A = this chain, B = another copy of it.
């Protein structure tokens, strides 16, 4: 297969972890006889510095021309706590999601046998957790009208959803559930929000098309609790942009390490793959960041190209590295801490 992949390394540890995913993907390509053409492009603070824009048009063109986008992380502390900054790296992220139409963020949550005791949660609560949160990514309060009134003393943001946005995401949720545990949970705040009532209505109307899927409706506050109390109770969760932002990060706690959790953001034309962790600026340039989340995001990419064996090969070499203790300092637990690049090399060699 010939694959054209746009490579958006971004800020902080982004470039370092992306490098390892490239190494591993190239090893896969060699082993399975694929041809990957990587096209790097600027994004985030790096792009602001270079061209004054966190998601330049050129980057967008590269992404659109690609079969997939592999993404590192964006964000830089110099923009935090500065309410007056006009251009922020995060705007690039949002613009990218919107312009590429990445409407569904897919975040699997699972545990790693060799790491289960790293979780702040007790083993018996989490062992065997296998859930996916499907977060709507191009709508809701992220993209509604916002501004100030009363000379700046009143601020407002608008949470809006259209039926087709909910339906599109919900269908994806139903289809994923069909291939998995056949349970779908719609998470909202329908006892307060009109947008949530539209969500509920829309999902309810789809239920009859997927009679095999058992659908439940839960309030986001209750789910924030139950996700920790009993994550094994969930299979596929669908939820709005803002709720998904909160719940996916919360769910990442279950596995015990953010440094391991991959994600994909699905669009109608191109999809994007990225680790769920951020740009972690304190570690940037030190060759200490954990590359596994990015490597596993590449596995999700191969999976979506229907290259299941390739995806599985990545997952199994990752598990092997964990079992053999070839890990970065965040997972070293007093043992030897490998460098980011060493872990990448080891994985590529062992593919």
| Interface residues of A, Cβ cutoff 8 Å to B | 80-81, 83, 88, 90, 94, 120-122, 125, 141-142, 144, 146-148, 150, 153-164, 189-195, 197-198, 200-201, 204, 217, 220-222, 224-225, 228-230, 242-243, 245-250, 252-253, 258
**Residues of B contacting A195 in the complex (Cβ-Cβ under 8 angstroms):** 146, 155-157
Instruction: Give the Cβ gap from A214 to chain B, nearest Cβ, in Å.
Output: 14
Q: Provide a sorted-by-A list of 30 A–B residue pairs whose CB atoms are within 8 angstroms.
A: A81-B200, A83-B197, A88-B191, A120-B122, A120-B229, A122-B122, A141-B193, A144-B156, A146-B195, A153-B163, A153-B164, A154-B198, A155-B160, A155-B161, A155-B195, A155-B197, A156-B160, A156-B161, A156-B194, A157-B158, A157-B195, A158-B158, A158-B159, A221-B246, A221-B250, A222-B249, A224-B249, A225-B252, A228-B228, A228-B250
Instruction: Give the Cβ gap from A126 to chain B, nearest Cβ, in Å.
Output: 8
Question: Is the pair A192, B250 in contact by a Cβ cutoff of 8 Å?
Answer: no
Question: Is the pair A250, B249 in contact by a Cβ cutoff of 8 Å?
Answer: no
**Other contacts beyond A156-B195, A222-B249: 11, CB < 8 A:** A83-B197, A121-B122, A154-B163, A154-B198, A155-B161, A155-B193, A157-B195, A221-B249, A224-B224, A224-B246, A250-B250
Of A146, A156, A243, A248, chain B has the most CB atoms within 10 Å of the CB of: A156
In the complex, the chain B residue whose C-beta lies closest to that of A148 is B194
**Residues of B contacting A156 in the complex (Cβ-Cβ under 8 angstroms):** 144, 158-161, 194-195
Instruction: Give the Cβ gap from A267 to chain B, nearest Cβ, in Å.
Output: 20
Instruction: Give the Cβ gap from A150 to chain B, nearest Cβ, in Å.
Output: 7
**Complex-state Cα separation, A243 to B29, whole angstroms:** 44
Number of copies: 2
Contact A193-B157, Cβ < 8 Å, known A120-B229, A162-B150: yes
**Residues of B contacting A147 in the complex (Cβ-Cβ under 8 angstroms):** 194
Q: State the majority secondary structure of interface residues on A.
A: helix
Of A150, A193, A201, A246, chain B has the most CB atoms within 10 Å of the CB of: A246
Instruction: Give the Cβ gap from A79 to chain B, nearest Cβ, in Å.
Output: 8
**Residues of B contacting A243 in the complex (Cβ-Cβ under 8 angstroms):** 246
Contact A83-B249, Cβ < 8 Å, known A162-B154, A194-B147: no
Contact A142-B220, Cβ < 8 Å, known A153-B163, A155-B198, A162-B150: no
Instruction: Give the Cβ gap from A90 to chain B, nearest Cβ, in Å.
Output: 5
In the complex, the chain B residue whose C-beta lies closest to that of A249 is B221
**Residues of B contacting A141 in the complex (Cβ-Cβ under 8 angstroms):** 159, 192-193
**Complex-state Cα separation, A246 to B222, whole angstroms:** 8
Of A146, A157, A163, A224, chain B has the most CB atoms within 10 Å of the CB of: A157
Question: Is the pair A120, B155 in contact by a Cβ cutoff of 8 Å?
Answer: no
**Residues of B contacting A242 in the complex (Cβ-Cβ under 8 angstroms):** 189
In the complex, the chain B residue whose C-beta lies closest to that of A93 is B191
Instruction: Give the Cβ gap from A1 to chain B, nearest Cβ, in Å.
Output: 36
**Residues of B contacting A201 in the complex (Cβ-Cβ under 8 angstroms):** 83
Instruction: Give the Cβ gap from A234 to chain B, nearest Cβ, in Å.
Output: 14
Question: Is the pair A249, B225 in contact by a Cβ cutoff of 8 Å?
Answer: yes
Of A81, A162, A228, chain B has the most CB atoms within 10 Å of the CB of: A228
**Residues of B contacting A224 in the complex (Cβ-Cβ under 8 angstroms):** 224, 246-247, 249-250
